[in-house]
Amino acid sequence: MSTTARYPDLNAKPVLVTGGADGIGRAVVAAFADQGASVGFIDIDAGRGEALAAELAAAGATVAFAAADLRDIAASGAAIAALSVKLGAFAVLVNNAGHDERHRFDDVTPAYWDDRMAVNLRHMMFVTQAVVPDMRARGGGVVINLSSTSWMQGSPGIIAYTTAKSAVIGFTRSLARELGPDGIRVNAVTPGWVMTERQRAAATPERLARAQERQALKGEIMPDDLAAMVLFLASDGARMCTGQNYIVDAGVV
Ligand SMILES: NC(=O)c1ccc[n+]([C@@H]2O[C@H](COP(=O)([O-])OP(=O)(O)OC[C@H]3O[C@@H](n4cnc5c(N)ncnc54)[C@H](O)[C@@H]3O)[C@@H](O)[C@H]2O)c1
C-alpha cells in the first residue's frame, strides 16, 4: 500500500467492491482487507477473483468472492445476497467495475451503446439499490462510485464510455441527496491515467511521455493511490463529505 494510514472504524466492517479481481478494484479489495474489513467482491473474471480471494484469505483476511456479470442485474443481486449472508450487512459499497473499450463514433450501434451503459453505469444504480436496505438497517453507510477524467477532457474514441462516466457524477450528486437523510454518504472518485496491468500493456513510450508532460506531479499513478482515497472516503474521517468528486490524476484536469 502507498498509505500507512489506519482507519480503526473500518475493522470488521462489511465492504462490497464491484470489479474487484483486477486493476484498481483489486487494490481496493486488498486495501480494505489490510484494514481488517470483511471484504466481498464481484467480478466477471472467476479465475482471477477466486485466486485473489484465496491469496488474501491465506494471509488471514476475511474475504469472499462471487462471480457475476454486472450487466445481468438478477445475477448481480444473487451474488450480493450470497456475499451478504457470508459477511453481514454491507456498510460500504465501491462501485468500481467498468471498461474503457475503444470504439469509433461511426461504428456505434444501439446495442453497443446499451452494452457500454450496462458495463459502465447501469450496475451502479442497481447494485446500490440492492445494498441500501442493509445500510439503512445499519443506520448509515458509504457509497463510492468510480468515474474518469476522460469525460472532463472530452477524450475521443470512447464516446459511450465518457458519456457513462460523466453520468456517474450526476448519479453521485443526486444519490447523495436521496440517501443523506439515511446517514448514507455518496461520493465519486475520479482517476487520471492509472497504471493497472491492462493500461500498462496498452501504453506506448509516446503515450507515457505525453502523460508526464500533462501531469503537474511527475510519476505514475498507481492503483494503490486510488485505494488510499477510497479508504479515506469510506472511513469516519470523511464523515461530513458527501455529494463530491475526488480527483486523483496527479494534476491534469
Ligand atoms: N485505469 C485507469 O487509468 C482508469 C482511469 C479512469 C477511470 N478508471 C475507472 O476505474 C475503474 C477500474 O478500472 P481499472 O483500470 O482497474 O479496470 P480493469 O480492467 O483493470 O479492472 C476492471 C475489473 O472489472 C471487471 N469487470 C469489467 N466488466 C465487468 C462486468 N460486466 N461484470 C463484472 N465485472 C466486470 C473486470 O473483470 C476487472 O476485474 C473503472 O470504472 C474505470 O472506468 C480507470
Domain architecture of the chain: domains with CATH: 10-194+224-246 (3.40.50.720)
- pLDDT reading at 26 higher than 70: yes
pLDDT band at 3 (very low <50, low <70, confident <90, very high): low
How far away, in angstroms, is 181 Cα from ligand 1 center?
A: 30
| pLDDT score at 79 | 98
Q: Mean pLDDT across the stretch 181-192? A: 99
Distances in Å between the Cα of 201 and the Cα atoms of 27, 150, 194, 207 are: 18, 19, 12, 12
How far away, in angstroms, is 20 Cα from ligand 1 center?
A: 8
Percentage with pLDDT > 90 across the chain: 98
Q: Is the CB of 189 under 6 A from ligand 1?
A: no
Q: Mean pLDDT across the stretch 135-148? A: 98
Q: Mean pLDDT across the stretch 122-151? A: 98
Q: Mean pLDDT across the stretch 39-46? A: 98
| pLDDT score at 199 | 97
Q: Is the CB of 153 under 6 A from ligand 1?
A: no
Q: Mean pLDDT across the stretch 188-217? A: 97
Q: Is the CB of 200 under 6 A from ligand 1?
A: no
Average confidence score pLDDT of the chain: 97
Q: Hey, what's the cell of 163?
A: 458519456
- pLDDT reading at 202 higher than 90: yes
- pLDDT reading at 4 higher than 90: no
Q: Is the CB of 146 under 6 A from ligand 1?
A: yes
What residue owns the CA closest to ligand 1's atom 23? 19
- pLDDT reading at 223 higher than 60: yes
How far away, in angstroms, is 76 Cα from ligand 1 center?
A: 16
Which positions are annotated as active-site residues? 161
The 10 Å Cβ neighbour count of residue 200 is 11
**∠ Cα 200 40 191 (to 5°):** 35
| pLDDT score at 160 | 98
Q: Mean pLDDT across the stretch 32-45? A: 98
Percentage with pLDDT > 70 across the chain: 99
Q: Mean pLDDT across the stretch 211-231? A: 98
- pLDDT reading at 33 higher than 80: yes
| pLDDT score at 70 | 99
| pLDDT score at 1 | 58
CA-based Rg of the chain, rounded to a whole angstrom?
17
- pLDDT reading at 188 higher than 90: yes
